[in-house]
Amino acid sequence: MKPKTRANLLLLLTAMIWGCAFAAQDVAADVLQPMSFNGSRMLLAALALVPLCWFSDRRAIRTGQGMAWKQMDKQQRKTLLTGGICCGVMLALGSIFQQLGISLGTGAGKAGFITALYIVLVPLAGLLFFRKKLGKLVWIAVALSVAGLYLLCMTGSLTIEPGDGMLIICAACYCGHILVVDSFSRRTECIKMSCIQFAVTTIICFTGAFLFENPTWEAVRTCAVPIIYAGVFSGGVGYTLQILAQRDAEPAVASLLMSLESVFAVLAGWALLGDALSARELLGCALMMGGIVLAQLPEKKTI
């Protein structure tokens, strides 16, 4: 299997995991404040990756494949730590603003649409800051995906309410996270960088929770299932798959694939909860899938 094909499949799996996490976040928002929830789930994500980092180090030492911490020189360790810290800061900001937007009353569909604005922000940021010009098909794919997300998620007018504003900031942060991952994932050991980013996010979120919120063990116990799913699966598995996959994927294409989390959120509701898909929602899914196919045609290469 070609590296880009494998990367795209991993990103699709990531989108599915993240899409199902919207339900967990919505349930938790009624009980646990944003930074308390994110700190709890990111702690689980970091702990889930510690054994994997240990086995990865042992395998690297035994087989010579990969890069163990002991085998890294000063510059390699600096790159790993810098990447993990930068990813952790952007992930913390994105997850906090997303959960804050949901807790302020923005519905799941509208939240999914606004969050997924990073599919537009990523190529724009690449063009503005890195002079990365994209082919016409990628821009058409972006337009189709945005239209699909609108049909899929929006049921009313788009107004800038407090929760919406938080989610717009969230989209910008996730755009930054994608670009940071793209910058570092090819230069360092991805599993370790993912573990570090979760540790950094945990510290930021818990610091904010103890300063500005009032977390209780009772609230954490009540949200145990959402925290476990959002931490181990959406966090530990999902974000690690993102980092691994982005080594072989273009940032703009990666953002398009990951934006399918909104589609998977709707499909999971239909399959697991019996929520019927309207003709409007089916059309939205079709437009997004068309955008994904266009984005992966040969003409998508940067020029």
Alpha carbons within 13 angstroms on the beta-carbon side of residue 126 total: 26
More confidently predicted of 293 and 17: 17
With a CB cutoff of 8 Å and minimum separation 6, the contacts of 59 are 65, 66
229: DSSP letter: I
The pLDDT of residue 154: 67
C-alpha 295/C-alpha 186 separation (Å) is 22
Residue type, 10: L
DSSP H helical segments within the chain, as ranges?
3-29, 34-63, 74-103, 108-115, 118-130, 136-153, 162-184, 190-212, 217-222, 224-228, 240-245, 251-258, 261-273, 279-295
C-alpha 138/C-alpha 47 separation (Å) is 38
C-alpha 115/C-alpha 121 separation (Å) is 11
The pLDDT of residue 302: 45
Which of 6-20, 60-74, 221-235 is the least confident region? 60-74
The pLDDT mean for the chain works out to 83
Residues 94-119 have pLDDT tens digits of 999 999 988 887 766 677 777 777 77
Quote the pTM value.
0.80
39 pLDDT band, cuts 50/70/90, is very high
